[in-house]
Amino acid sequence: MQTTTSQTIGPYWHLIEDRSWSDLTRFGATGEVITIEGTISDGAGAPAADACVEIWQTSPTACDEFPGFGRAATNEAGVFSFKTIMPGPVRGPGNTLQAPHLAVTILARGLMFHLATRLYFDKEPANENDPVLSLIEDKARRNTLMARQTKAGVWHLDIHLQGDAETVFFEI
Amino acid sequence: MNEIRAPFRAYAPGTQPDNDSPQYRSTGLRHPTRPLLKIPQTITELTGPQFSPAHFPPTDNIAVNGTHEAVGERIIVEGFIRDEDGRPVANTMVEIWQANAAGRYNHPRDTHDAPLDPDFRGSGRVFTDSDGAYRFITIKPGSYPWSNHANAWRPNHIHFSLFGAGYATRLITQMYFPGDPLLELDPIFLATADAQARNRLIAKFDLDVGKQDYALGYRFDMYLRGRNATPMEDNHADHH
């Protein structure tokens, strides 16, 4: 049987929202605690105020203390925020090493199928040889995945669903 | 060979909706305009979150609030979650949410002039057993109007959220009810080109799923991506 068809998450998905899920350290994880914050905007530059943002990271390895997964809602200004542990590099295809990154999924009203992208960390030397970033031929567009440090421990990424700065989204 | 590293299969053509679905108005400013970039499935995509009932307690009967029964037609929904090869997806979390019997979500942004039910929050969470089976008790959701086009009404539906074995198997979908005349008018249901694929979103009425003198039943099976036979080339390169 073929994979079940996707449908939009719609505007009322907050019925399953648990705000504690945006804090991946809540079960007692230790490590370099960081804040990931960002915005989501649509093709008119308006904030996507009803989106569900999910992150998944394989470093540090998920365990009882660290779920590796988080979910957050965007607010009226399209802003989302997570507290997590800074990931390290993980293995990639062949003998490659992937730069530290988070997988990011965006689900929202108006999206029939969730969008997949990644968040990388600006100025991380390993970005240069990352096997996924390297697939983005237009180097300027690699910046659409690059979170920038705004202060100690805080990283910011603006996600654009459309427009000149449209984020690179993946087919997985 | 470690089967867990075999990549997930591509979706069958036409069986998934296009984000650029103009009949569904909200897609207009939200769908990507550039082609998606195909990336290899790495450890990030091949693995995914695992939820334990200890951290995420199940709530399998959402038709009751303490000792207060919610208003509406009580129903039991059950089914299997399997991969494309028919293998059970065991111990996976299933999240659901829906409108109440009057067609109103218990949500601040739902402004539809239909009554809220203080005994119906409209969300729940269950886990599949070792056979991939899930089951929950709820209230049949009502239809409600939305602003997509003139006199637009959503067919009765229950939202489902599934994770499966990997980040790449994430599925958000909606379960519909048989015989609903609104289905053929609904741009969300119709956004999927393959009619057989979208018709699989319609649950099967099944008296045996229900319970005498208690509730009617519906069966809704879901399928997550299966794995390719060929493992990834870096299968052996486990540095951890």
**Of the candidates B71, B98, B142, the residue with the CA atom closest to the CA atom of residue A15:** B98
- Full set of structural domains in chain A with CATH: 13-160 (2.60.130.10)
Residue B218 lies in a domain: yes
Give the position of tokens 């009226």. A76
A138-165 burial by CB neighbour count: b if 16+ within 10 A, else e?
eeebbebbbbeeeeeeebbbebbbbeee
Residue B186 belongs to some domain of the structure: yes
Residue A17: the pLDDT is: 98
Both structure tokens of A112: 């029939």
Is B122 domain-assigned? yes
Please, are residues A48 and A37 in contact by the beta-carbon 8 Å criterion?
no
ipTM above 0.95, yes or no: yes
- Beta-bridge mates of residue B217: B76
Phi, psi of A108 (to 5 degrees): -165, 160
d(C-alpha B48, C-alpha B58), whole Å: 20
pLDDT for residue B3: 42
Q: For chain B, what is the domain count?
A: 1
Measure the CA angle with vertex B15, ends B187 and B22; round to 5°: 30
Asked if B206 is an interface residue toward chain A (Cβ–Cβ < 8 A), one would say no
**Residues B6/B234, Cβ–Cβ less than 8 Å:** no
Q: Is A103 close to B55, i.e. CB distance below 8 A?
A: no
Residues from chain A contacting residue B171 (CB–CB below 8 Å): 3-4, 6
Q: Is A107 on the interface with B (CB under 8 A)?
A: yes
Q: Which residues of B touch A4 (CB under 8 A)?
A: 171, 173, 200-201, 222-224
Q: What is the pLDDT of residue B239?
A: 42
**Binary contact (A7, B17; C-beta < 8 A):** yes
Asked if B128 and B81 touch (Cβ cutoff 8 Å), the reply is yes
Tell me which chain B residues have a C-beta less than 8 angstroms from the C-beta of A58: 43-44, 47
Six-digit token pair at A162? 């459309």
Q: Which of B159, B170, B200, B219 is catalytic?
A: B159
Q: Which of B125, B154, B198, B227 is catalytic?
A: B154
| Short-list B115, B73, B63, B83, CA closest to B11 | B83
Domain membership of residue B14 (yes or no) is no
The active-site residue, picked from B24, B74, B105, B227, is B105
Please judge whether B16 and A8 are an interchain contact, meaning their C-beta atoms are less than 8 angstroms apart. Answer: no
Among all residues of chain B, which has the CA nearest to that of A49?
Answer: B109
According to DSSP, residue A59 is labeled S
For residue B147, tell me if it sits in a domain. Answer: yes
Range of the structural domain that residue B101 is part of: 19-106+114-224
Task: List, for chain B, all residue ranges whose pLDDT scores fall below the cut of 70.
Answer: 1-4, 230-240
Q: CB neighbours of A42 closer than 8 A, spacing ≥ 6?
A: A48, A110, A161, A162, B29, B30
Q: How far apart are CA B165 and CA B168, in angstroms?
A: 8
Q: Residue B230 has what pLDDT? A: 66
Quote the pLDDT of residue B93: 98
pLDDT surpasses 60 at A78: yes
Partners of A54 on chain B (C-beta within 8 Å) are 170
Q: Among partner residues B48, B82, B123, which is closest to A15 by beta-carbon distance? A: B123
Instruction: Say if residues A152 and A33 touch (Cβ distance below 8 Å).
Output: no
B30 is catalytic: no
Q: Residue B69 forms beta bridges with which residues?
A: B64
Q: Which residues of A touch B43 (CB under 8 A)?
A: 58, 90-91, 98
At B231 the pLDDT is 59
**CATH, residue B89:** 2.60.130.10
pLDDT of residue B229: 79
DSSP assignment string, B84-146? TTS-B-TT-EEEEEE--TTS--SSTT---SS---TT---EEEEE--TTSEEEEEEEPPPPEEE
Q: Check whether A121 has a pLDDT greater than 90.
A: yes
Residue B104, pLDDT score: 98
Task: Determine contact: A20 vs chain B, CB below 8 A.
Answer: no
Confirm whether B230 is domain-assigned.
no
Tell me whether residue B32 is in a domain.
Answer: yes
Model confidence over A40-59: pLDDT tens digits?
999 999 999 999 999 999 99
Cβ-defined contact of B19 to A12 (cutoff 8 Å): no
The answer to whether B82 is a known catalytic residue is no
Residue B155 lies in a domain: yes
CB A55 within 8 A of CB A70: yes
pLDDT band at A37 (very low <50, low <70, confident <90, very high): very high
In the annotation, is B240 catalytic?
no
